[in-house]
Amino acid sequence: MYRYDTLDKEFLADRALEFRQQVARRLAGEITEDQFKPIRLMNGLYLQLHAYMLRIAIPYGTLTSTKLRKLAYIARTYDKGYGHFTTRTNLQLHWIKLKDAPEILDHLAEVEMHSMQTSGNVIRNITADPYAGATADELDDPRVWSEAIRQWSTLHPEFSFLPRKFKIAVTAAAKDRAATRIYDIGLAMRRGRDGELGFEVMVGGGLGRTPYLAATIREFLPTRHLLSYLEAILRVYNRHGRRDNIWKARIKVLVASLGAEEFARQVEEEWGKSDHSRVDLPDHELARIRASFAGTFETLPAASETLEARKAADPAFARFLRRNVHPHKAPGYAIVDISLKEPGETPGDITSEQMEVVADLGQRYSQDEIRVNYQQNLLLPHVKLEDLPAVYDALAAARLATPNIDLVSDIIACPGLDYCALANARAIPVAQQIAERFADPALAEEVGELRVKISGCINACGHHHVGNIGILGVDKKGEEFYQVTLGGSGEGDAALGQMLGPALPAAKVAEAVEQIVGVYLRERKDDERFLDTYRRTGVAPFKEAVYAEAH
Amino acid sequence: MPKLIKLHQGQASLANDRFTQVADEEPLPGGDVIISLTRFQAEGDRLLSEGRAVGVRVEAGEEIEGLVYDLPRVAVVALAFPKFRDGRHYTNARLLRERFDYRGEVRAVGDVLREQAMFMVRCGFDAFEPADDSGPDEWLAATRRFTHVYQRAADTREPAFVARAE
């Protein structure tokens, strides 16, 4: 886990002081809300339907117990006692008072946290593989490179007024757990023929109104040149990205209009003219960052008798192991996913008390590390097998042991019209209704891997385009309707979903999902996942089931 | 007459502007002038041959490369911000300083606000016409809000990764 040194801490203190002075000027009426807007947005402070919302950055989704306890404290003291994890692995507090914001930033700075660059047309919080440092299938620790990007992109003087927001995702593993194809830049580590490590550089992915999967513009970029190459990409975008139309300002539109090949040529040309050595991190700095992520694991037996005994005696625990526990690179350890998707609750929401439970477990059982992933869940990356029963019991007591990771009730949903000024429709109640239909864990497990993603508007914060079942809220003459798409995926087999048919009224959505699942269970062969069956059968049988009554 | 703040050796001061900024449709007055890139391309040679100092105003959508050949003869490059959120000129300023080695004045004009001061200075601007009420003191203070920076740019500030190694 990267720890701030004196320099990082002083930087953050400067930032907190700057914002305190800016808020004072606003509260004194020296600047108008219009003039204040860009300033607050540089600090993740939005004005929403009911109150200010503060979006706190969680760089590449990594937390310590101290940080998570501080978030719990802030949510309890300045908000309503809960927070909401987002698909960008940030934490949102939806009921903030402007006058409290500077104090909150001071609290955050105490634990090396902030809300910088969680909004505005800048390089946003970096996301990475949540299994970093714990999974056997990675070539390197992606947090090293994510931290390098975090520092480089922090108050970057040239790229703080981009045409639009800019999101970067990093993975170093074979399996893409960071959804690298749906972001402005996706970086996936590869090993070159001579053994050297490099990144496949993908550019121009993004959801929203016109969804695109990112195109590879370079198959192999030696890792040491990462920052200078990113600078070249950002420079081409900063100069040539559209600024006349907010809906066409993301880099995906530039890449699509130039064509990936021409865009790549321009990047290579720019990169060729720049002095890489002025931008790329020197070895000593990379080594310093790398050292902070070095994990040490005890030599343990690959199996635990305590665990096996409990597993044999307790079917609920056995189900939790099947769904929420994943292999670790070190024998005797496991990765534990914590679902924030208890049926009936708001996806991604967590109370202060629950945060404290997770913080305690992280400190005691997971080398003081806790992660957030883009599915709006948490995870403990380094739990000993013999500790799993204790961890499970503590999670279950806090209603955090829902065994539904990657299942139909593990739904991604944006805050929607319940909070967000941009939304056309509510997302949370729809998610709740669907989850409740599959609340029986045996049923959910029988259905298997099925990713449902819901957005309350075309901005697609809920990633509906890449949901196996995607649901988009639209407004039809003042009424909430929902557009359903099938077959999307944000992972290694990335694809955009295809429209099922006419939009459905709110009351029909959960039923439609049930019908879609019914068709899948009828049609599936052997071990096919929902996505496999859909790809084989096409949309027709699903369409028929959902719209049958209309005929 | 807009206020002109110049930055020299780490100090900011109000300066008398010896240049007249002339729009394309206006007749040219005598003395030193700042004119558009288009007008410079048409009339620059003549004006320079008259012994005047000439500055060129570049719009956010114009390619700075179009001026490279003439840079040694240009006294001021005025980069015009149509809106503070239009960030194209940060790249242009860095290219002028770092790639084309331009040593003359790089001036920020248009929607120029105190909140941009640090970014502008880091990218190589050394003259500013603030559109808010900033004076030299406020401007300088805004450039000094952060003790540390994380990356190299067109200024001489030492990035964190260098400072840490010392």
> Could you write out the DSSP letters of every residue in A68-94?
HHHHHHHHHHHSSSEEEE-TTS-EEEE
Non-local CB neighbours of A254 within 8 Å, separated by 6+ positions = A204, A236, A237, A240, A241, A242, A263
Class of domain B5-163: alpha beta
Question: DSSP letter at A181?
Answer: G
Best of A117, A121, A161, A227 to mutate (most B CBs within 10 Å, chain B): A161
* Closest by CA position to A337, among listed A300, A376, A373, A379: A379
Is some CB atom of chain A closer than 8 A to the CB atom of B118? yes
Query: Residues A149, A286: one domain?
Result: yes
Query: Residues A152, A285: one domain?
Result: yes
Does the residue A126 lie in any domain? no
Query: Residues A21, A73: one domain?
Result: yes
Domain count, chain A: 4
Residue B109: beta bridge partners?
B80
Percentages (nearest 5) of helix, strand, coil residues in chain A? 45, 20, 40
Is some CB atom of chain A closer than 8 A to the CB atom of B90? yes
Tokens of B80: 């015009």
Is some CB atom of chain A closer than 8 A to the CB atom of B133? no
Cβ <8 Å between B87 and A288:
no
Cβ <8 Å between A238 and B150:
no
Report helix angle A283-291 to A142-153, nearest 10. Answer: 120
Query: Residues A457, A392: one domain?
Result: no
What amino acid is encoded at A346 in this protein? Answer: T
Q: Quick one: closest CA in A to B141, which residue?
A: A18
How does pLDDT run across A210-265, given as a tens digit for each residue? Answer: 999 999 999 999 999 999 999 999 999 999 999 999 999 999 999 999 999 999 99
Best of B79, B81, B89, B90 to mutate (most A CBs within 10 Å, chain A): B90
Query: Residues A149, A37: one domain?
Result: no
Does the residue A117 lie in any domain? no
End-of-domain residue from the set A261, A291, A321: A291
Cβ <8 Å between A238 and B88:
yes
Does the residue A206 lie in any domain? yes
Report the C-alpha gap between A315 and A200 in whole angstroms. Answer: 43
**pLDDT at residue number A39:** 85
Report the C-alpha gap between A193 and A191 in whole angstroms. Answer: 7
Report the C-alpha gap between A245 and A247 in whole angstroms. Answer: 5
Option in B84, B152, B164 nearest A7 (CB): B164
Tokens of A43: 């600090």
Contacts of B163 in chain A (CB under 8 A): 7
Cβ(B95)–Cβ(A232) under 8 Å? Answer: no
Cβ <8 Å between B87 and A18:
no
Closest-CA distance, A251 to chain B, in angstroms, reads 14
Q: Write down the residue that tokens 């105190």 correspond to.
A: B114
Does the residue A403 lie in any domain? no
Cβ <8 Å between A282 and B165:
yes
HEC sequence for A304-315: CHHHHHHHHHCH
Does the residue A122 lie in any domain? no
Cβ(A336)–Cβ(A383) under 8 Å? Answer: yes
Cβ <8 Å between A157 and B118:
yes
Query: Residues A285, A313: one domain?
Result: no
The rounded mean pLDDT for chain B is: 95
| B10-40 exposure pattern, b = at least 16 Cβ within 10 A, e = fewer | eebeeeebebbbbeeeeeeeeebbbbbbebb
> How many residues are present in chain B?
166
Distance of CA A443 to the CA centre of its chain: 27
Query: Residues A147, A262: one domain?
Result: yes
Cβ <8 Å between A121 and B87:
yes
Q: What residues make up the domain containing A179? A: 134-291
Query: Residues A323, A472: one domain?
Result: no
Report the C-alpha gap between A331 and A301 in whole angstroms. Answer: 6
Query: Residues A98, A141: one domain?
Result: no
Residue ranges with strand state E in A86-131? 91-96, 127-128
Which helix (H) or strand (E) element contains residue A370? strand A370-372
- Range A212-216 contact pairs with CB under 8 angstroms and sequence separation of 24 or more: A212/A252, A212/A255, A212/A256, A213/A181, A213/A182, A213/A494, A213/A495, A213/A496, A214/A180, A214/A181, A214/A182, A214/A183, A214/A184, A214/A185, A214/A186, A214/A252, A215/A255, A215/A260, A215/A263, A216/A260
Report the C-alpha gap between B22 and A322 in whole angstroms. Answer: 74
Does the residue A347 lie in any domain? yes
Query: At residue B44, does pLDDT exceed 80?
Result: yes
Contacts of A157 in chain B (CB under 8 A): 90, 118-120, 122-123, 149, 151, 153
**pLDDT at residue number B1:** 60
Report the C-alpha gap between B153 and A355 in whole angstroms. Answer: 40
Does the residue A208 lie in any domain? yes
Could you tell me which residues of chain A have a Cβ less than 8 Å from any Cβ in chain B? Answer: 5, 7-8, 10-11, 14-15, 17-18, 38-39, 42, 121, 151-152, 154-163, 235, 238-239, 243, 273, 275, 278-279, 281-282, 284-285, 288
Cβ(A469)–Cβ(A445) under 8 Å? Answer: no
Q: Write down the residue that tokens 């309350």 correspond to.
A: A456
Query: Residues A54, A181: one domain?
Result: no
Q: What angle do CA B83, B89, B94 make, to 5 degrees?
A: 155
**pLDDT at residue number A509:** 96
Option in A7, A162, A275 nearest B160 (CB): A7
Is some CB atom of chain A closer than 8 A to the CB atom of B86? yes
Q: Write down the residue that tokens 């970093």 correspond to.
A: A132
A112 phi-psi bin (left φ>0, alpha ψ -120 to 50, beta other): left
Cβ <8 Å between B145 and A279:
no
Does the residue A546 lie in any domain? yes
Which of the residues in chain A have pLDDT under 50? Answer: none
Please compute the mean of the pLDDT values over residues B112-141 and round it to a whole number: 95
A with B: how many residue pairs have Cβ under 8 Å apart? Answer: 94
Report the C-alpha gap between A364 and A373 in whole angstroms. Answer: 21
Best of B114, B146, B157, B162 to mutate (most A CBs within 10 Å, chain A): B146
End-of-domain residue from the set A291, A314, A341: A291
CATH code, domain carrying A18: 3.90.480.20
Q: Quick one: closest CA in B to A156, which residue?
A: B151
Residue A279: beta bridge partners?
none
Closest-CA distance, B131 to chain A, in angstroms, reads 12
Closest-CA distance, A195 to chain B, in angstroms, reads 27
Report the C-alpha gap between A9 and A114 in whole angstroms. Answer: 11
HEC sequence for A199-236: EEEEECCECCCCCECCEEEEEEEEHHHHHHHHHHHHHH
Model confidence, pTM: 0.95
CATH code, domain carrying A501: 3.30.413.10
Closest-CA distance, B67 to chain A, in angstroms, reads 16
End-of-domain residue from the set A342, A364, A397: A397
Contacts of B160 in chain A (CB under 8 A): 7-8, 11, 151
**pLDDT at residue number A550:** 55
Closest-CA distance, A224 to chain B, in angstroms, reads 14
